[in-house]
Structure 1
C-alpha cells in the first residue's frame, strides 16, 4: 500500500493537471495583414468535452511585456486596438480569435494565445506578416526633355510599400536594363519604404521607351510607368531628308549668305566708283598746271609786261 501511495504522489507531481490532454488550441500558423486595415488572428479551442467553460484567455505579443488581451474572473481587459473578434464573446464561446483594429508595420511578429478551461489548458502561436502595396511609380527626367543627342538621367520613385521591394527597368518593352541603374530604399517613420531608382542615359541611345516596374518583396509585380523619348529629327524619307532643326537652320544660313554677298558687291562697286572718279579728274588738274606754266614762261620773255603787272598790283 505504501508503494502505491508513493507512486500516486509522484504522478500527482509530474502531472498536476491530467485533464490538459483533453484540450487543444488550433490557430492559423501564419496570417498576412494589410497595412492600415484590420487583421484577424484566428484561434479556436477544441475540447473533448462539449460542456467546457473557459476560465482564462490571454493574448501576448513576443517582445511586449504587457498582455494585449486578458479574460479572467469573467472580466476582459484589453489594450486599445485589440479585442475578441466576436463582439458577443463569452466563456462558452470557443472562438478566441484576436482582432487588430489598425495594422501597422510594428504589428508584425509572433502572437501567443493561452487558454485555461475547466477541462484543461493549451496554447498556440500565430505569426503576423504585414504587407503594404507600393504606390504607382512616377518617372521624371533630368533634363526635363530627354533627347538621343545628349546624356540624361531617368528617376523612378514609389512610396508606401512594405517590406522592402525593388525597381527594375525595361527598354522597348521587354529588354531588361536594370544593370545600368542604381536603387535606394529609405524607411520612413511609419516603417514603410520609399524606393528611388536612377537610370543613366548616354548620348546616342537608340531606345525609344523606358519602363519602370515595381516589384514587392515576394517578387510580385505591382505597378509600372513608361516614358517615351521623342526622336530629334523626323523620319527619313527615301533614304534622304533633314530634321526639323536642319530645315530651320538651312534657310537662315542661305538668306544670311545672300545678304552678305549683296553687301560685299555694293562695297566693291562703291570703291571702284570712287577710284574711277579720281582717275577722271587727274588729267584736268594736270592740264591747268601746264597752261599756267606756259603763261609764266611767256611773261618771262617780256620783262616789260611783268613790270606793268607788278605796278598794277602795288596800286
Structure 2
C-alpha cells in the first residue's frame, strides 16, 4: 500500500514539473478545437514537421495531459507507459507509434463521454532534454437529440414536446402559423440521465383548437435542429355532436324543400304523398254532365 501511494506521489510530482517546464520553455502551441460525439471515438490532432532524431526513440518522451494536470497518455523511451495515467482515461487512449517519427503526435480518445466536455489537452514533447509544448486541443462534447414527440392533453388543452439523448443543454422554440411563442409561454423541465449524462427534455404550452404549432430542439454544437409539427383538431365531444347535428340539418332541409315543392307544384305531390302527410290527395271533381231528362209532353 505504501508503495502504491509513493508511486502516485511521484507521478503527480512528475506531471507538475512537466507542466511548469512546458509553460516556461514552450513557444505558442497550436490550438485546435474538435467535436466529440458521446459514445464515439475522437482524434486529438497534433503534428509537427519532424520528430526523428539520431537518438529516437530512446531519448524521446511525449506527454498528453489536461490542464489540472492529469495524464491522458505517455510515450517514453520507445514504448507507451501507463503507470501515471489518470483513471479517468484508463483503456480509452491510443496513439499510432508508427507515425510518431514523421511528426504525427495525435491521440485517439475512445469512447467519448460527458466528463470529457471542455477537455483541454496539452501535448508536451521532450527530445534530448529539450521540452516544448506542441499542441493544445479542446474537446466540445455533444450528442444529437432524438426527434421530438408531441403529446396533446385535450382535458386542459396543453401540448407537451419531449425528447432525450442530447447534449449539451437544448434550445427549445415553439412556433405557430403566424408567430414565435415567447420563452415565458412554455414550461420547460430538464433531467440528466445518470448513466450517459445526456439530457431529457419536456416542454409544455397551452394550445387552442385549429392551431398549427411546431416544436423545435436546437443543438448549438452540431448546429442541428430536430422538429415536429401538429394541427390541433376539434375536441372529440364536439366531433361526436357534429355527427348528429349534420344529418338532422340535412333531413330538415330536405323536408322543407319537399313541402315547398308539393305546395307549389300540385303534380309533384303524388310521389311524396306517402312520405309527407301535409299534402293530402284532393277529392276528385265530378265532371260528368247530368243527362238531360226530356220532359215528356203528353200532348206530343
TM-score class, shorter-chain normalisation, is: 0.5 to 0.7
Q: 1:217 aligns with which of 216, 220, 223?
A: 220
User: Which residue number corresponds to residue 287 of structure 1?
Assistant: none
Q: CA deviation at 1:151?
A: 3.9
* Alignment partner of 1:131 is 2:159: no
RMSD: 3.4
Q: TM-score, normalised by structure 1?
A: 0.58
Deviation sequence 1:259-302 (CA, Å, 0-9, x none): xxxxxxxxxxxxxxxxxxxxxxxxxxxxxxxxxxxxxxxxxxxx
Q: 1:165 — aligned with what?
A: 170
Cα contact 1:35–1:132 (8 A) shared by 2 = yes
Q: Which residue of 2 aligns with 1:192?
A: 198
The equivalent residue for 2:289 is: none
Greater fraction helix: 1
Take 1:101 and 1:25, find their aligned partners in 2: how far apart are those partners? 28
- Give the alignment partner of residue 68 of structure 1, picking from 65, 68, 72: 72
- CA shift at 1:75, angstroms? 1.9
In 1, are the aligned partners of 2:37 and 2:141 still within 8 Å (CA)?
yes
2:103 match? 94
TM-score (norm 2): 0.61
The total of aligned residue pairs comes to 213
Match of residue 281 from structure 1: none
Report the structure number with the largest CA radius of gyration: 1
Q: Counterpart of 1:141?
A: 152
Quick one: distance in 1 between partners of 2:55 and 2:34? Answer: 28
SS in 2 for 1:198: strand
Instruction: Give the match for residue 157 of structure 2.
Output: 152
Counterpart position of 1:255: none
Name the CA shift for 1:219/1:132 in 2 (closer, same or farther; >3 Å).
closer
Ranges in structure 2 where 5+ consecutive residues have no aligned partner: 1-20, 83-89, 252-300
Q: How does 1:224-243 map to 2 (within 5 A)?
A: 224-231=227-234, 243=242
In structure 2, do the counterparts of structure 1 residues 217 and 73 end up closer, same or farther at CA, with 3 Å as the change threshold? same
> Which residue of 2 is the match for residue 244 of structure 1?
243
Conserved? CA contact 1:30–1:126, under 8 Å: yes
- 1:232–1:161: structure 2 CA closer, same or farther, 3 Å change rule? closer
Structure 2 residue 43 is the aligned partner of structure 1 residue 53? no
The answer to whether residue 120 in structure 2 is matched with residue 115 in structure 1 is no
Deviation, structure 1 residue 247: 2.8
The CA deviation string for residues 174-206 of structure 1, in whole angstroms up to 9 with x for no partner, is 5212442111221212221111100123xxx36
Task: Give the whole-Å Cα distance in 1 for the aligned partners of 2:220 and 2:164.
Answer: 14
Instruction: Decide whether aligned partners of structure 1 residues 24 and 42 sit closer, same or farther in structure 2, where only a CA change above 3 A counts.
Output: farther
Give the gaps of 5 or more residues in structure 1.
Answer: 1-16, 144-149, 234-241, 253-315
Q: Deviations over 1:37-60 (max 9, x none)?
A: 111111113469976835101111
CA contact (8 A) 2:34 2:44 kept: yes
